[in-house]
Amino acid sequence: MEQILKELSDAIVNCDREAAAAAARKAVEAGIEPTIALERGLSAGMQEVGNKYETGEYFLSHLMMAGDAMNAALQILKIESRALEMARRGTVVIGTVRGDIHTIGKDIIASLLRAKGFVVHDLGVDVPASRFLETAEETGADIIAVSALMTTTLPAQKELIGLLEERGVRGEYVVLIGGGATTKQWCEEIAADGWAENAPEGVKLAMELLEKRRT
């Protein structure tokens, strides 16, 4: 079993979709519990990928390919959402606000969050406030992460917080904001829970705030 788990982990670290799928098939044939394959194989590999990105050894392309390899393995292992939730660090709904179509920064932090063990629901770009809330409710999210790259779309972040307050659910979610147009001052002005200047800092902040909330 240990050899198969290592193959799963190595496939993710090597960003090898085919190897990940092959290792997943071996895990199924060997009768390894899907959650064990996830936690000790795939997640361990993604953790290493995240570490390599933070040290500059890996780049965004590696994060994306590692995520693709992990998805290929998950499909074969047939790990249901419930099992994923059991192994999660937390659940994040992320997207770029309505009127804004910038995606690179959002994609980077989404990949890093996955590497750190979060279940991430990426809504893409041009996302209205109502969809952030709907998805957060549907998935039982802990964090809503909202990106805005243009000053003209900043008000959409404030709109989301206003919607959460209006629905009486503001306290149920950690709201993080980011993007080139955002600042710490803007975060304080709209009463978001946190702001980070870059993706690695954003992931660390997400982990810290979620841990603080749970304790």
- In angstroms, the CA 100 to CA 165 distance is 23
CA distances from 130 to 7, 24, 88, 102, 140 (A): 42, 37, 25, 19, 15
Angle at 195 between CA 189 and CA 196, to 5 degrees: 150
Q: Do the beta carbons of residue 84 and residue 92 sit within 8 Å?
A: no
Phi–psi pair at 198, nearest 5 degrees: -145, 175
Under the banding of pLDDT at 50, 70 and 90, the label for residue 114 is confident
42-94 pLDDT, tens digit each: 888 988 988 898 889 998 889 889 988 988 888 888 754 445 555 568 899 99
Q: What average pLDDT score do residues 118-128 get? A: 92
Domains assigned to the chain: 2-85 (1.10.1240.10), 89-214 (3.40.50.280)
pLDDT in tens, 165-213: 999 999 999 999 999 899 999 999 999 999 998 888 898 999 999 988 8
